[in-house]
Amino acid sequence: MDICKIHKNASKCSVNTMECFMVLSTQAQKISIATLCGLFGTLCIFENFLVLYLIFSSPGTRRKPSYLFISSLALADILASIIFVCSFVNFHVFNETDFSKEMFLLQLGGVNTSFSASLSSLLLTALDRYISISRPSEYKLLMTRKRAWIALGVLWVTCATIASLPLLGWNCCTLDSTCSKLFPFVDDNYLSSWICFIMVLLGCIIYAYAHVLWRARQHVAYMEKHQVQVGKQNTRMRMDVMLAKTLVMVLTVLVLCWSPVLVLMIYSIFATLSNHLRKVFAFCSTLCLLNSMVNPIIYALRSKELYSSLRMVFSRFRRQLKAPEESPEAESTHKSSMIET
């Protein structure tokens, strides 16, 4: 019998009704979810920490607004991975319900803040490329480090404020309104508003990237037509085209990973979800971790500055491994063994 039917007469804000949202019924499903979360989460944290290290260990990259926005994206992905994996696995795999409504909404707010900040950081990166290509002569005046930090501060405060609204009172328990079919205690109107916020961000990113690609294509055509001219302008164009293509790859992965989740969220507002669709939603949620895991790989492969920094890190690591073998103690031991022989 469906456990949600058992609790249909219970209060919709009771902690016991959270069992209705534990849709993984078999051990195989729980093991699959735990494996995916563990694999994607671990790789995501390691890769994004590596990206942050590569950016801030090099004076050339940490001073550029473009890489400040990428750092914000990496930080948001790290926080999202930690909070999402811990709360998601505890809830769906270990069926942990020994916490209050406020604690659950706090965890959900942390996940929403991190993922919203990740998407917003991608928007700032798109706007940065938009300004760089559309107004290259004024880019350094318009996009300064101070303005970049202010934009990042506004970004994180806005995302945290929107994500904390359910905890502050915009939930179906306080308002006695319709609860979401996917998230406990979440008001359907809030979920609709959050989806609209995410869709607006995606629309702005797509528009900015469409313009960036259009200008990048113009730059490519210009460089092919004037191959004789070599200088800072052409170098700048090549950098813009390279970074534009990189960010489009990031956006493509983002849309592919987030589309199933958003579609099911929208569908849940207008229709009743079956247990099968809610299981599909649980598995599709892990695609958000996959997106956070793939982004640093794209940076390392497409960004020449980060790739060269990564090669330097690996070369230093190899030298440190070889150092003990070439140390004076090792040489004296080797000589003494030769004498004894």
Reported as a single tens digit per residue, the pLDDT across 198-234 is 989 888 888 887 787 787 777 666 666 665 455 555 5
Assess whether pLDDT exceeds 80 at residue 14.
no
Here the tokens at position 253 are: 């992965």
Q: Is residue 141 part of a domain?
A: yes
Reported as a single tens digit per residue, the pLDDT across 254-270 is 788 889 999 999 998 88
Total of domains in the chain: 1
Strand, coil or helix: 303? coil
Write down how long the chain is: 341
Helix (H) or strand (E) holding 191: helix 188-225
Q: Is residue 341 part of a domain?
A: no
Strand, coil or helix: 82? helix
For residues 238 and 253, is the Cβ–Cβ distance under 8 A?
Answer: no
Domain boundaries, position 242: 25-307
Between 239 and 292, the more confident residue is: 292
Residue 35, pLDDT score: 92
For residues 190 and 165, is the Cβ–Cβ distance under 8 A?
Answer: yes
Residue 170, pLDDT score: 92
Average pLDDT over residues 313-338: 62
Residue 1, pLDDT score: 39
Q: Is residue 9 part of a domain?
A: no
Q: Is residue 318 part of a domain?
A: no
CATH number at residue 47: 1.20.1070.10
C-alpha distances in Å from residue 175, one per residue of 9, 188, 193: 19, 11, 16
Indicate the average pLDDT of the chain: 81
